Each structure stands twice: as C-alpha cells, then as structure tokens.
A and B are shown apart, each in its own frame.
Chain A
Amino acid sequence: MYFINSFLFCGIICLIAEIILDNTKLTPGHITAMFVCIGAALDTFSIYDFFIAKVGGGALLPITSFGHSLIHGALISAEANGVVGLLIGIFDLTAAGITAAIIFTFIFTLIFRAKD
C-alpha cells in the first residue's frame, strides 16, 4: 500500500505544480518556494506527519517535506530549549540534505564544466 500511496502522493504534488506552472506566469522558483511554505504550514498542526505515516517515501521526496523537516526540527528543539530552540533546531533534520547537496556540488564542479 505504501508503494501505491507514494506514487499517487508524489505524482499529485508534481501535477499540481505543473498545472500552476502552465497556467500562470509563476516560474519554478516561485513554485518551489511556495511549496516549502505550504509544507511548513501543513506541519503546524501535524497534518504533514499524518501524510508521512500514511504515504512513506513518496511524502519525503517532494520539496514540501523540506518545509516539514525545518519546522519539525525547530519544534523538537523548542521542547527542550524553549523559544530559542526554534532558532537552534531549525536545520537539525535538513542538515544532511543541504550538506550533501553542497558537498556533491563542490566535487562535481571541480571535475566537470558547463556544457553549452
């Protein structure tokens, strides 16, 4: 069931993005930024956690889960450290993704050059 849900959830999010992309003047940059905010908003009252529990991997892949991870780390840290914890923990869960993207980008930029 996780497999079908993953396919449908990730597919529907991409479908919504594609419909916005084709029918408005918004660029992919606008849409990804918007989707991150939506992901964070959905997790304010643990709605996105519900999706992840039901869907599995398909809910972790779209950029909305980036917003979810940001707010989730912040809230875990806020439980321990109070309101400052929101600032301390915000990158706790996304650090792996951002760091990996930076490291891989660094390595591949050293090796390859842009193709025109």
Chain B
Amino acid sequence: MYKFSFLVNAITGDIMSNKKYDDLVKKHTPKENKLKYAVTAFLVGGFMGLLGEVLIRVYIILFEVSRNDASTYMIITFIFFASLFTALGFFDKLVAKAKAGLLIPITGFAHSMTSSALDYKNEGPIYGVGSNVFKLAGSVIFYGVVSAWFFGLIRYLWEVLL
C-alpha cells in the first residue's frame, strides 16, 4: 500500500510514521454511517407508505370512487410530485439523504425519468430527451415485463394443466 515507509513533511521536516498516517487518513475519510442510513430509509419509506394509504382514503371520500380507482389516483399523484420536485431541482438532495426510502417507492421511477430527460435536454428532443428518458427506468420496465411474462406463463400453465 505504501510506496515509502514514512512520509516527510516538506516544510517542517517532520517524519510521519505509517501509523500516524493511517490515523490521519481515517480521520478525513467520511464516515459511512450504515445504521443511520438504514433507519432514515425505513422512516422515509414508511412515511411514504403511510401517505399513500392516507391519500387513498382522502380520494375515496373526496371523489367518491372505488378503492381501485383511488389507488391509481394516488400513484399518479406521487409520480406528479416526484417529477415536479425533480424538475425544480431539490429532489436530488432529498434522494441523497433518504436514498432507498425515496428510490424504492414509485417516486424513484418518476425521478429517474425526469432527471435523465432534463440531463439530456441540451442534446435535442430526439437523440437527447426521447432516447434517454428511459435510460434508468427502461431496465425496470424491461426486466419487469420479462419476469411478469415468465411467471405469468408458469401460473397460466399451472392452471391449464391442473
């Protein structure tokens, strides 16, 4: 790991031992607080789930629709706000803090689409926005469809054969 067995301070001439150097590196390496990240993701994700359920209840009362329709409205609401906040520029900061708490709910899907569309906006509407909008969300749709088709076929054959 070390090219030299000790480091010399060019100004004062102090010799720095490997151990001291290690301590210094450790001190300046940002601490990855995994527990804090995990708790944040749990709380933010949980809050999103709670908000989803609250929104469904509100829509059922407000628009007098069935629970199924209210669920669709709820998902569209989340997509709208994730998309808007990404376009306004502060969703990235929230994602950097909450990480999986915002990436795993449907907000992450909308965020990835809007952010890649905005990033490639200056390359034009066709080869910029149009072809890059599904850059990250594309893998979700692609593997989702492949696995849904595959498992759907298994379930279908299961029911036909038995």
Contact = CB atoms under 8 A, between A and B. Distances in A.
Interface of A: 2-3, 6-15, 17-19, 21-23, 28-29, 31-33, 35-37, 39-41, 43-45, 55-63, 65-67, 70-71, 74-75, 78, 83, 86-87, 90, 96-98, 100-102, 104-106, 108-109, 111-115
B113 A105 contact: yes
Nearest to B95: A28
B7 interface: no
Name A's interface SS.
Answer: helix
10 tightest Cβ-Cβ pairs between the two chains A and B: A10-B49, A14-B45, A11-B46, A58-B49, A57-B53, A18-B41, A70-B148, A57-B52, A108-B87, A18-B100
Given A32-B104, A62-B104, A114-B119, A14 B114 contact: no
B105 A61 contact: yes
14 contacts: A11-B42, A11-B45, A23-B34, A31-B104, A33-B143, A40-B152, A60-B52, A61-B49, A62-B104, A104-B83, A105-B113, A105-B114, A108-B86, A109-B129
A60 B87 CA distance: 24
Given A57-B49, A109-B121, A44 B154 contact: yes
Contacts of B117: 105-106, 108-109
A55 to B, nearest CB: 8
Nearest to B137: A101
Nearest to A11: B46
B140 A33 contact: yes
Given A11-B49, A33-B140, A61-B105, A78 B152 contact: yes
Contacts of A87: 149
A63 B105 contact: yes
B147 A40 contact: yes
Interface string B131-145: 001001101111111
A59 B45 CA distance: 11
B151 A41 contact: yes
Nearest to A89: B152
Given A22-B37, A75-B156, A109-B117, A14 B140 contact: no
Nearest to A71: B148
Contacts of A98: 141
Nearest to A34: B143
B54 interface: yes
A71 B155 CA distance: 10
Contacts of A106: 117
Contact of A112 (B88, B113, B136): B88
